């Protein structure tokens, strides 16, 4: 029998392969210190062939963790292996946040919530448009499409080099989503109120194609899920052409909020000091 005076301390993780470059420990460590909470959050590398055993250790309590984050390449496998994935993660086929409750491993996906929370903070009113354009149909686009659709955007144009991949997403997420080849980009952008880059174009200073943002609504918002560099070539183009822009760093910060609350019992705030902490780390690396 446990001593009733025993203090329970929760420990959480971020797992992937590789995982050493994750900034999640910085984010959660900041909140633990700011809120004066006991507990820890650390990177825990797990190879793909060992991931099923890791999930089993969460279930039986031998891992020592109360939950954590899952990133590449484990998101899809996690959704299949947990006991209770929620509706969001089931539709996406991928989970990024796990927690143990009553001996069962639960899962959700907070990427979409992080995306819209970032826009709400930095471009309030972005959801008054009826039309959005999403560039890219890779894994990162799924949660974005889901979140924009669930926010009430009536028409979501997904543009991709391989139109078949865009069509797969249209089939998955329903009639609000339309698939297009790259050649249709200017046409679908005309009059649209939201442009989202979900590709790796512009990441780490790589080049991005010239895009005519002038055809969009004058009140349009352009955002990019890439956050290194903070102002990507796509965002720089849109800004020069007079449109409001939102960088992708806030998505990383806001998607971390629900998990922290689940594991440590307190809802943290995304503030300017946390944002600067991550920017400083980006500058060092």
pTM of the complete model? 0.94
pLDDT at 3: 39
Q: Is 136 annotated as a binding residue?
A: yes
For the chain, the structural domain boundaries read 11-110+256-284, 112-248
C-alpha span between 103 and 80 (Å, rounded) = 17
| Residues designated catalytic | 75
pLDDT at 6: 41
From first CA to last CA, the distance across the chain in angstroms is 48
C-alpha span between 261 and 263 (Å, rounded) = 6
CATH architecture, domain defined by 11-110+256-284: 3-Layer(aba) Sandwich (3.40)
Residues of the chain with pLDDT under 70: 1-8
pLDDT at 195: 98
CATH topology classification for 112-248: Rossmann fold (3.40.50)
φ, ψ of residue 106 to 5 degrees: the values are: -100, 160
C-alpha span between 107 and 122 (Å, rounded) = 28
Q: Is 24 annotated as a binding residue?
A: yes
Q: Is 140 annotated as a binding residue?
A: yes
Cα 143 to the chain's mean position, in Å?
A: 7
pLDDT at 2: 37
According to DSSP H, which parts of 133-209 are helical?
139-150, 163-173, 185-189
Q: Which helix (H) or strand (E) holds 137?
A: none
C-alpha span between 144 and 225 (Å, rounded) = 9
Question: DSSP letter at 6?
Answer: P
pLDDT at 7: 52
Q: Is 161 annotated as a binding residue?
A: yes
């Amino acid at each position: 029998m446990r001593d009733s005076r025993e203090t329970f301390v929760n420990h959480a993780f971020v797992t992937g392969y590789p995982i050493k470059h994750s900034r999640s420990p910085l984010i959660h460590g900041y909140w633990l210190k700011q809120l004066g909470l006991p507990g820890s959050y650390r990177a825990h590398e797990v190879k793909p062939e060992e991931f099923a055993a890791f999930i089993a250790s969460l279930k039986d309590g031998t891992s020592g963790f109360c939950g954590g984050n899952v990133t590449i390449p484990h998101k899809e496998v996690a959704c299949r292996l947990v006991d209770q994935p929620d509706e969001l993660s089931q539709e996406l086929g991928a989970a990024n946040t796990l927690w143990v409750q009553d001996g069962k491993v639960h899962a959700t996906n907070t990427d979409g919530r992080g995306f819209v929370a970032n826009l709400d903070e930095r471009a309030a009113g972005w959801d008054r448009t009826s039309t959005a354009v999403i560039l890219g149909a890779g894994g990162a686009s799924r949660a974005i499409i889901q979140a924009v659709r669930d926010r009430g955007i009536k028409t979501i144009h997904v543009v991709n080099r391989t139109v078949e991949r865009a069509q797969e997403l249209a089939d998955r997420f329903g009639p609000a989503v339309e698939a297009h080849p790259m050649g249709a980009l200017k046409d679908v952008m005309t009059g649209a109120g939201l442009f989202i880059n979900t590709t790796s174009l512009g990441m780490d200073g790589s080049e991005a194609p010239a895009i005519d943002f002038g055809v969009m609504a004058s009140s349009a918002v352009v955002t990019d899920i890439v956050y290194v560099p903070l102002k990507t070539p796509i965002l720089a183009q849109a800004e020069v052409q007079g449109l409001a822009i939102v960088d992708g760093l806030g998505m990383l910060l806001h998607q971390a909020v629900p998990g922290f609350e689940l594991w440590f019992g307190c809802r943290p705030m995304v503030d300017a000091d946390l944002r600067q902490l991550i920017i400083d780390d980006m500058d060092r690396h």
